[in-house]
């Protein structure tokens, strides 16, 4: 097992903490995903109107994923491979992202800056609509010179759809 060797421990030591390779994949992916979350959680708690906070949140999500890909492309490639089989960790990460977006949408509905809508459904829709800009499966597209203009166009549609 490469993990045991990399950690300088025995296979038994690894399996004392992790029952299966699937569990290990989930732990690795969950840890990697957790590294993207602190800044996003902070943005959700910021004071101020919901529309700029929502834009800040999605911009930060895009920035953190792209930065992690650029900082260590080899680790990012490994993460992408592991994530394909770490369904529970990925689902938990996506659920938290949806919840963070929904919290800001809920604030916007409450303050009247967003139209009345189901915040969780809106959170899911926003995450899906922006996935090409932050989802690791789209990594190869992030270097496209038109990506920032494409993101701005998607953002304008989202903003118009949320407007009261």
Q: Residue 119 belongs to a domain with what CATH number? A: 1.10.357.10
pLDDT for the residue numbered 61: 96
Query: Residue 60 — very low, low, confident or very high, per pLDDT cuts 50/70/90?
Result: very high
Whether 15 is covered by a domain: the verdict is no
pLDDT for the residue numbered 23: 72
Q: Do residues 14 and 3 touch, judged by C-beta distance below 8 A? A: yes
Whether 6 is covered by a domain: the verdict is no
How many domains does the chain fold into? 1
Query: Residue 1 — very low, low, confident or very high, per pLDDT cuts 50/70/90?
Result: very low
Q: Do residues 164 and 113 touch, judged by C-beta distance below 8 A? A: yes
Q: What pTM was estimated for this model as a whole?
A: 0.85
Across 84-90, average pLDDT: 78
Whether 65 is covered by a domain: the verdict is yes
pLDDT for the residue numbered 51: 98
Whether 9 is covered by a domain: the verdict is no
Whether 112 is covered by a domain: the verdict is yes
Query: Residue 31 — very low, low, confident or very high, per pLDDT cuts 50/70/90?
Result: confident
User: How confident is the model over 88-132, as pLDDT tens digits?
Assistant: 877 888 999 999 999 999 999 999 999 999 999 999 999 999 999
């Amino acid at each position: 097992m490469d993990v045991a060797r990399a950690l300088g421990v025995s296979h038994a030591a690894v399996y004392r903490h992790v029952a299966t390779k699937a569990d290990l994949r989930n732990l690795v992916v969950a840890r990697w995903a957790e590294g993207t979350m602190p800044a996003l959680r902070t943005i959700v708690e910021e004071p101020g109107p919901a529309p700029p906070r929502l834009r800040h949140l999605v911009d930060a999500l895009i920035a953190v994923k792209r930065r992690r890909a650029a900082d260590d492309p080899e680790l990012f490639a490994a993460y992408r491979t592991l994530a394909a089989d770490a369904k529970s960790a990925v689902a938990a990460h996506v659920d938290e992202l949806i919840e963070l977006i929904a919290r800001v949408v809920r604030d916007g509905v409450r303050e009247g800056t967003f139209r009345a809508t189901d915040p969780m459904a809106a959170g899911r829709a926003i995450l899906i609509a922006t996935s090409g800009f932050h989802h690791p499966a789209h990594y190869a597209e992030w270097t496209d010179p038109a990506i920032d203009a494409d993101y701005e166009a998607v953002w304008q549609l989202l903003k118009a759809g949320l407007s009261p």
